[in-house]
Structure 1
Amino acid sequence: MRVTLLGTGDTTGTPTPGCDCDTCTAARERGVERTRFSVYVESESGETLLLDASPDLRHQLLREGLAPPDAAVITHIHFDHLDGLGNAYRLVDALPVFAADETDPETGESVAETVARKYDYLDALDVRPVAPGETFRVSGLDVTLVPVVHPPLACYGVVVEDPETGGKLAVTGDTNYAIPDASRDALRGADLLLADAIVPASLAPHHPLGGDHRDADGVPRTFGTKHMTREGALALADELDAANARFVHLAHYYPADEAFADPLAVDGETYDL
């Protein structure tokens, strides 16, 4: 399968509109961007799957020369992962959308129910609830949602396996470092791990809640409560024995001299698994 990183940024992206910080300036000078998060996967059969629907989806597909996907998976209901589904209007005749069926105590709905309610005006969308931890087949790929921790909302990582090549893609989703053990086991051993790493750990003191899940040296592996730091993502990638790890959901708060160094991803990267 071929994996294309459509969007590797956080909720404001890089460059951030109206921002002239050193990192946004460097991104413009380099001609790179980190739009809101989405991943596009093409199976050996040529069928395609979208992991999260960025509000930048139209731009992302045009930029990469890709057709609208055959199906989609939504990990949670934050707008930067969901609102691109509106692009289904007049672009596709039918789009199966897979999302978790577990009721979120915060909203009183499952992710699938929220998606169906929010987009009830789009006849093209066919929302299909799935149970986390249970593998389903879509676009010629085996897909599993795995619970992660992104308070206060229910959120899920995604494991995608290609039965033809044996390739395995693991996406942490938006999460702090306290990913449940069962989910870590499901994410383990990927050919490519895409891990949330919103900022370096050095910026944790700037968050109102500081950092959490500190390592033995006191380095926070969680920024605030919702996202991993770069150091948290590095520790997770090492623990999960990923053959290759790329970090995503990146904020423009990375210092410019660190913002484009490996393993921090930028839009447009492609991987064959």
Structure 2
Amino acid sequence: MRVTLLGTGDTTGTPTVGCDCDTCRAARERDIERTRFSVHVENERTGESLLVDFSPDFRYQFLRDGVSLPDAAVVTHIHFDHLDGLGNVFRIFDDIEVYAADETDPETGKSVAETVRDDYHYLDPVTVRPTTPLEPIRCCGFDVTLVPVDHPPLVCYGLAIEDPETGAKLSLSGDTSYDVPRVSRDVLADADLLLADGIVPANLCEHHPLGGRHEDADGVPQTFGTKHMTREGALALADDLNAAQTRLVHVAHYYPADEAFEEPLAIDGEEYVL
């Protein structure tokens, strides 16, 4: 299993357009970037590849990193920074299967699968495969399981991707607060590599209108506002899941410049062989 981090940034990416903060300046000076979130997972046994989320930066990411076009994809939720790149399949793909959860979202009245199908009905290459969370499917030679996480107000899902032949396992927290259900944690546990949403350091919760949530025993917030984990929350989740290696993704440019590119924060283009 070869994992390429195509996009490791949050909804605005780093550098952020029009921003001259110390972190964005440092990223430009060092030629480092975090485009909007997407992960490419290649099955070297079968020659197939799976894409997790369609970043709006799809075209640029694939040209930059030179990875193969995916044979199938998974959409974790319907926020634009995870979905709107799907339009890039036009005139590029003959066909692609897109897996998405089949649970109805009370907020929208549709499942993620239904939203993808309806919003991109004009894309003939796309076949949407409604998928039941917590029930593994076989895709690109991998066993893929969607797991519910906590990203209000919309439903959102993490993922476990396992190679049944080699035992290699990749887990993704999805966009989530620290309040990941126990049943989902059990599926995500014991990964060789965990990609965990760690949008900002916990001390920045004081600047969020809603502050922080899910404080640990020392009072450190593990959730920034309601939707994303802090760095500290992501690392606590990694410990709970017994991840062999962890990279923090969905990273915002609000990290101070002297912390923004330190371990274990990921940057675009990182590659892992599991």
TM-score interval (norm. to shorter): over 0.9
Q: Counterparts of 1:268 and 1:228 in 2: how far apart (Å)?
A: 22
Structure 1 gap segments, 5+ residues each: none
**Partner of residue 194, structure 1:** 195
**Partner of residue 37, structure 2:** 37
CA offsets 1:90-114 (integer angstroms, 9 cap, x no match)? 0000010000000000000000000
Q: What letter is aligned with 1:111? A: V
Structure 2 SS opposite 1:144: strand
Structure 2 SS opposite 1:109: coil
**Partner of residue 60, structure 1:** 61
Q: Counterparts of 1:25 and 1:161 in 2: how far apart (Å)?
A: 38
Asked if 1:49 corresponds to 2:50, the answer is: yes
Q: What letter is aligned with 1:163? A: P
Identity, % of aligned positions:
71
Q: What letter is aligned with 2:16? A: T
Residue 67 (structure 1) shift: 2.6
Residue 229 (structure 1) shift: 0.1
TM-score (norm 1): 0.99
Asked if 1:155 corresponds to 2:159, the answer is: no
Q: Counterparts of 1:253 and 1:65 in 2: how far apart (Å)?
A: 29
Q: What letter is aligned with 2:59? A: R
**Partner of residue 208, structure 1:** 209
Structure 2 gap segments, 5+ residues each: none
Superposed CA RMSD: 0.5
Q: What letter is aligned with 2:61? A: Q
Q: Counterparts of 2:194 and 2:117 in 1: how far apart (Å)?
A: 29
Q: Counterparts of 1:37 and 1:213 in 2: how far apart (Å)?
A: 24
Give the number of aligned pairs: 273
Q: Counterparts of 2:251 and 2:216 in 1: how far apart (Å)?
A: 21
Structure 2 SS opposite 1:153: coil
Q: Counterparts of 2:87 and 2:236 in 1: how far apart (Å)?
A: 36
Residue 259 (structure 1) shift: 0.3
| Equivalences for residues 133-144 of structure 1 within 5 A | 133-144=134-145
TM-score (norm 2): 0.99
**Partner of residue 18, structure 1:** 18
Structure 2 SS opposite 1:128: strand
**Partner of residue 217, structure 1:** 218
Structure 1 SS opposite 2:150: strand
- The ranges of structure 1 where at least 4 consecutive aligned residues each deviate by more than 3 angstroms after the TM superposition are none
Structure 2 SS opposite 1:149: coil
CA offsets 1:143-200 (integer angstroms, 9 cap, x no match)? 0000000000000000000122210000000000000000011111000000000000
CA offsets 1:45-75 (integer angstroms, 9 cap, x no match)? 1100000110001100000012321100000
**Partner of residue 166, structure 1:** 167
